[in-house]
Structure 1
Amino acid sequence: MSPVSFDPNSVTDEEYLVLKAKSVLSHDPCAAKAWMITAKTLFPSNFGVQFEAYQIEKSARSVKEAAKCFGDIFKNFQEERELWQEIQALTTALRSENGDSNYSFLREMFSHIPQDVQRDLLLVSADRSEDTMEHCRLLLLLLRQFPRSVVEHGPPLVDTLMTAEKHSHYQNAVNCYRKLLVCDLLPLLGSSLVELPAKQLFRLLHKSIEFYLAYLMLPNKTIEDLPDVESKIDDPWKNLFAIQEMTAKKLGWELSSLSSGTWSKDSYWQKLLQFRQTTVQTDDPTYMKHMILLYYTTTFFLFCLHEYVVSLETGVGDMPLLLVEAFCSRQDQEDSIGEPKAKRRKLDGDESSTPLITVAKPPVGQSVPPVVHNYIMAVRCWDLLHSTEYLEREFTKLSQHLRLNNTWLQGFLIDTAIYKGKFQEAIEKILFQETTASTDCLQKNLRLASTYHCLGQHSACMEHVLQIVNALPVPVTSLQLSLSLQQPSRSGRHLHYLPMHRTQILQYCVKLLVSALKQSLSKPNVDADLIMGHIFTLLQFDWPLEEDLAIQLLERIHQHGSFSYSLFQTYIINVDLLEEFMYLSTEQGGSVGLDVVPTTQTVSQRRISTRGVDKGVKEDFKQAMKRQAARSEEPLDSLIIKFLGNERELLLHSLL
């Protein structure tokens, strides 16, 4: 820096001393400091001199000297505009975690200012601020720096933030004022001795639950009128449980330490049950214990519900999951060909009627999502909240206050209706559910197809299956999953979390239709050959998983002695099935009459037999089978989708 030149006759004495200091600062800092000490001593009431001394210490990065100068200036010159510009920079640095060198210097300098000056500086800054948000930020800064001031300034700040939010007319609980109240102020109140009225504590707990619930539902997690860095909230549930614990302690609740320390969903649930069994059943005219149970169970329910929704969305192999009614392989629940299906047990019984719930095993290296555990915990909480008239009534009020009627709850209630075997109720909820995205429509049709099948309304099931196959997603990846669509179940019911992947969805639709066609086959006066032909066509997609069913059907054909299916040549291409039909046509296989391929003979309706006059027909049959086998490499998903679309009327006729 070049020395500062000036005309001594054209400046005041104060300016002269300052300029002399500046002129030697670059090459003789000690001399510059001496000049400024002289200036400060001679002109203690001159703001320009005092502020320039501060600026010189700041430029020299002299933390302690700069702090001393700044503290003196604040005490004596609080009306100066330049001072407040510097104070604004200082408070900005204190609120920021920015590693900028200027910010770091200001933060360090502030730490060397006497604490009484620090406190006054922040308090006066807040009082001078005309902007409500800035006023609140500065008071929060004061409370963080001086926790003892929470008792005095905390409750008024609560009122200020709630009033500001009310008058700002935000349409959502996720806004800048609510964020400061819930995330920044309430933890400070909780760690202090401040006392708040019980009514206000309940109100703050409500606002906290509502805020975090709405925040977690935001797709972009951005809070209006806040910078992105302040919009990010680490571990919202941990924060909410901490607020609940703070509220409980200040209200003297018995469960105030329920979520403290290390805990799991299972241990939390067991403590809730113990509390319910030991205290709620006692006479309590104030219903306080019921209120404790209500809030703790509601918060835990929302936590489990959120975890459930997340585990559905993340799914397996990056594929979302959907709960559907699957199939049982238990012997006494399987359908015997030609026999009536055993009636399902009602869910409203003992634990043996609880459905088996499975989820597809993910690819190697990935863990099984905790979707089943999250769902069961949410159901338990839901049932507890509806276990008494009082709890149900108060939970309904609380839900309305929290605006809980959202997509999370709608999907959960649909799943729960299915889980409890209330299929008609499930259909009503599914039809009521709004859908926008194509994935929502696909899931809606899957749920409807599954539920109509459970009600035995197979034509309606078929209509939704057709809508599903017309909207199947294009596979973005090839998933190698271990599917569990058919499992043994003591209850006779099996639910499965189906991955929203093209192959898995089509497999489920195929099994729905196979199950429906099997039931139709047991009815009198049906075209058994047509139904069995449809089943053979569908079984190819899962082959050889349904080989046992194919063997039963082939045995029925063998016993009947004949089989006719005009669509055989169009859709049956599985080599194993073709070999079985070839065998049935032989003498060893029973010389079954098969009308499944067109012949070149004049009488096209003749069936294959073992008589010598039919040698030409048998040769035509063999050649036709070879042509069928040559198509065995055709993609089965395209074949099945073509079959379902082209033969819609025949399928519906078979299902009626």
Structure 2
Amino acid sequence: MDPTIMNILDKCDRCLYKGDRNGAKSWILTASTLFAGNFTIQLKTLFLYKSCDDLIGARKYLEYIIREFPEEPELWEFLEGIALTLLSQDPPKDTFRDVFLQLPVETQKQALREAANKVEDLMSKSQILLALMTLFPETTSMYGLEALDILAKGASTVNTDVLINPFKKILVCDIIPKLLACNDIIVDKPIIRAEQQQNISLKTGHFCQWLELSTNFYTIGTEILFRKEIDDAIFAENGWSKLYELLCLIAKKCQWPEIVGNINLSTKQQPMVRWQALEEISNKKSLQVAIGSFYIAVLLFFQTAWEYYENVLRIAGDSTNSYPAFLVIIAHPHTDQLNLKPETMEFDLNQSFEVQEARIRECLMAASKCWQFLHSSETYKSEFQRIIQQWGIEEWHWINLFLADMHTYHLNFTEALGRLQYEESRNKDNLNKALAWRIEIQRNLCLLQRGGIDAAGFGITKVLKDILNHCNYQYCPPAVYKASNRKTTFSLLRTRSEDLIPYMVHLTIAIIDSKLVNVPNQTILGGLIVLIQYAWHNQQQTFTKVIDLVRSMEQFNYPNLIKYLFNVDLLEELMCIINEGKVKLNILPKSTRQKTKSIKDELRNAIEKQISLSQSEVGLILGTFLKEAELYAAKTTIKYEMN
């Protein structure tokens, strides 16, 4: 910089430091006169007027440098800063916002237009255009599409690891709403694009693209917000409601009268009310209705699928848990699968779940209906598959787990298996234990419901052993499964050992019970006697059946069985059998038998000892049984002949 300029600026600063504003003005005006072509001097003059609270002088000087230095890069940066303050709801006090707003309207427009044209950075360019449209809504039709293209280009350059794409955020939250609020932007009406200086006509497809982009953004953002990885008011204010508002605006633009003003489609309505409204609309035969119905179904599917998943994530007890509760069927394997209908089956949640059972089921049903609707015609199916591929939906962890539950709910076990296997393959190198157990349990449940009793039995006992090897499980009275009377019920199961183990014991009992005949394998029967204790509240019928089978035998052999028994009712029944003397019970370890006592006396003593077990001792029996009875655990449902 010229030494003379530096000297003058230094003297100006000294005057300001001393509080001599008039002296500072004298020096800077001298410099601006001597060096009229120096932008740095002129900008310094502008700042001096502002610091002296001379807003009139600052306004005149800002207008002057905008007019005289249109090619100065430092001016573009300066105007970009002003644009950001124009967009801010709470701008800093020491800015040139107020000075800029005192400029003539045309000067403001020209300044922002020129700055947007000159800056290279895509984010800066889009923010300046956004400020222009915010300040002057009438410019939206001319510059809105340009801003949209700039942001779309910028969004494609952002690393996929970024949680919220900043370009998409401005595009969806600012630009698209402005475009939709503009009266000049409607289907098939020519508008002028400023940068191309040509007329174009927007088609329905353009508006649908905006809706797809917005749906994608809010769906992803809502899930990330729930995981508490971001803190963003945009999503906290309910992104689904904002998305529905965009849908209504687009419906007006595209002339979908059946959608505009239909209050039953609102996010304030219950999920099934919204679905019924969609179903009613879709029955009307017209291309516009068909397009509108498709996008309503897409929005409703993602919203209700997410709400279902969000609720079962809360059931898991921790919103940071990636592996929530999951849907299971509590039924006996010999239930007639052909007569099962989800709509007539109970949906049973434990009372301790702090969620509304009806809401969870409604979300599941509505999402399922939308999924079926989106696959109801080749056109819908093709368009929905396009969205799935473009958005990379199959890589969304939560949607795969939801779809596994949804297909289980509809008894589409082949589809559910496919989702579970895909999710397992995606995580095979880093498979969390909770996810592995969930996948295995739900997969074996699907196999069981398809009739693969042997394969399911082997898989369930294998997972049961794995869980016991990874946790210090202690028995506690299990939940009462309402399906005990051969009644099929849906339930949500937490991925915790204290919930998983009782359920898998329930399944194992049902599998073995379904294969029992009049003269069963005694090892299997003994194992069933042990397991019945862990579902005692709802296994009275099976218990009676087992005792009758034991009574029908001349001899019952299961060495060591006594040490696995603790249920008082069961032990009392065995005592009765001993006293009757009709069945020879061989259930004691060989090492405990003494020549001085009769077998009956030893059995009575052993039973009395088991009855007196403490709760902590009882809690360890199941794990001990499965570990010591490994042959049974691994082969019960496959190797032993039962007919």
- CA deviation string 1:280-333 (max 9, x = no partner): 3xxx4xx332222112112211221222232233324337211111137xxxxx
Residues 150 and 260 (structure 1 numbering): CA distance in 2 closer, same or farther, change over 3 Å? farther
**What's the CA shift for 1:519?**
1.1
SS at match of 1:357: strand
2:302 pairs with 1:271: no
Question: Who is 1:246 aligned against?
Answer: 249
2:141 pairs with 1:137: no
After superposition, where does 1:89-488 map in structure 2 within 5 Å? 89-95=81-87, 102=94, 105-163=95-153, 168=157, 175-195=165-185, 196-215=202-221, 233-234=235-236, 235-254=238-257, 255-258=259-262, 262-277=268-283, 279-280=284-285, 284=286, 287-318=287-318, 320-327=324-331, 343-347=336-340, 354-362=344-352, 366-368=354-356, 370-406=359-395, 407-435=397-425, 436=427, 437-438=431-432, 439-472=434-467, 483=479, 485-487=481-483
- CA deviation string 1:49-84 (max 9, x = no partner): 654443233334555654454334333444556545
Residues 288 and 23 (structure 1 numbering): CA distance in 2 closer, same or farther, change over 3 Å? closer
2:611 pairs with 1:619: no
Code of the residue aligned with 2:251 in structure 1: it is: A
2:588 pairs with 1:597: yes
**What's the CA shift for 1:422?**
3.5
Question: Who is 1:56 aligned against?
Answer: 48
Equivalent-residue separation in structure 1 for 2:75 and 2:384 (angstroms): 54
2:574 pairs with 1:573: no
Equivalent-residue separation in structure 1 for 2:45 and 2:594 (angstroms): 117
- CA deviation string 1:319-348 (max 9, x = no partner): 7211111137xxxxxx9xxxxx56344236
**Candidates 515, 518, 521, aligned match of 1:520:** 515
**What's the CA shift for 1:222?**
12
- CA deviation string 1:1-56 (max 9, x = no partner): xxxxxxxxx979x987x888766556665744874898699889576765444323
Question: Who is 2:502 aligned against?
Answer: 507
- CA deviation string 1:120-159 (max 9, x = no partner): 2222211111223321221122212221110111122333
Equivalent-residue separation in structure 1 for 2:476 and 2:599 (angstroms): 44
Residues 119 and 464 (structure 1 numbering): CA distance in 2 closer, same or farther, change over 3 Å? same
SS at match of 1:594: strand
Would you say the 8 A contact 1:541–1:636 is kept in 2? no
Equivalent-residue separation in structure 2 for 1:292 and 1:601 (angstroms): 78
- CA deviation string 1:429-465 (max 9, x = no partner): 5344434222322111101221233234333123222
Would you say the 8 A contact 2:330–2:489 is kept in 1? yes
Question: Who is 1:628 aligned against?
Answer: 610
Equivalent-residue separation in structure 1 for 2:67 and 2:172 (angstroms): 34
Residues 595 and 434 (structure 1 numbering): CA distance in 2 closer, same or farther, change over 3 Å? closer
Would you say the 8 A contact 2:140–2:178 is kept in 1? yes
Considering only aligned residues, what root-mean-square deviation do their CA atoms show, in Å? 4.3
Any unmatched runs of 5+ in structure 2? 186-201, 639-643
**What's the CA shift for 1:368?**
4.1
Residues 200 and 222 (structure 1 numbering): CA distance in 2 closer, same or farther, change over 3 Å? farther
- CA deviation string 1:571-611 (max 9, x = no partner): 12334433332243235xx765432225789999xxxxxxx
**What's the CA shift for 1:496?**
1.3
Code of the residue aligned with 1:252 in structure 2: it is: Q
SS at match of 1:496: strand
Equivalent-residue separation in structure 2 for 1:483 and 1:459 (angstroms): 26
Code of the residue aligned with 2:255 in structure 1: it is: G
- CA deviation string 1:591-649 (max 9, x = no partner): 65432225789999xxxxxxxxx973332222222333354434555432332343243
Range 288-297 or range 262-271, more displaced: 262-271
Residues 203 and 578 (structure 1 numbering): CA distance in 2 closer, same or farther, change over 3 Å? same
Equivalent-residue separation in structure 1 for 2:122 and 2:614 (angstroms): 74
Would you say the 8 A contact 1:601–1:617 is kept in 2? no
Equivalent-residue separation in structure 2 for 1:83 and 1:468 (angstroms): 68
Would you say the 8 A contact 2:15–2:24 is kept in 1? no
Equivalent-residue separation in structure 1 for 2:336 and 2:4 (angstroms): 106
- CA deviation string 1:546-565 (max 9, x = no partner): 35543453355446576443
Equivalent-residue separation in structure 1 for 2:483 and 2:56 (angstroms): 75
Code of the residue aligned with 1:243 in structure 2: it is: L
Equivalent-residue separation in structure 2 for 1:118 and 1:317 (angstroms): 55
SS at match of 2:408: helix
Q: TM-score, normalised by structure 1?
A: 0.78
Equivalent-residue separation in structure 2 for 1:59 and 1:509 (angstroms): 76
Would you say the 8 A contact 1:323–1:496 is kept in 2? yes
SS at match of 2:213: helix
Equivalent-residue separation in structure 1 for 2:46 and 2:235 (angstroms): 38
Any unmatched runs of 5+ in structure 1? 1-9, 329-334, 336-340, 605-613
Question: Bigger radius of gyration, 1 or 2?
Answer: 1
After superposition, where does 1:510-549 map in structure 2 within 5 Å? 510-521=505-516, 523-527=517-521, 529-547=522-540, 549=542
- CA deviation string 1:219-265 (max 9, x = no partner): 99999xxxx88897554333333333232221111213445584442
After superposition, where does 1:18-33 map in structure 2 within 5 Å? 25=16, 31-32=22-23
Instruction: Report sequence identity in percent.
Output: 20
Residues 35 and 261 (structure 1 numbering): CA distance in 2 closer, same or farther, change over 3 Å? farther
Equivalent-residue separation in structure 1 for 2:232 and 2:113 (angstroms): 23
Would you say the 8 A contact 1:222–1:231 is kept in 2? no
Would you say the 8 A contact 1:316–1:368 is kept in 2? no
Equivalent-residue separation in structure 1 for 2:313 and 2:380 (angstroms): 30
Residues 477 and 204 (structure 1 numbering): CA distance in 2 closer, same or farther, change over 3 Å? farther
Code of the residue aligned with 2:585 in structure 1: it is: L
Would you say the 8 A contact 2:593–2:599 is kept in 1? no
Equivalent-residue separation in structure 2 for 1:114 and 1:412 (angstroms): 57
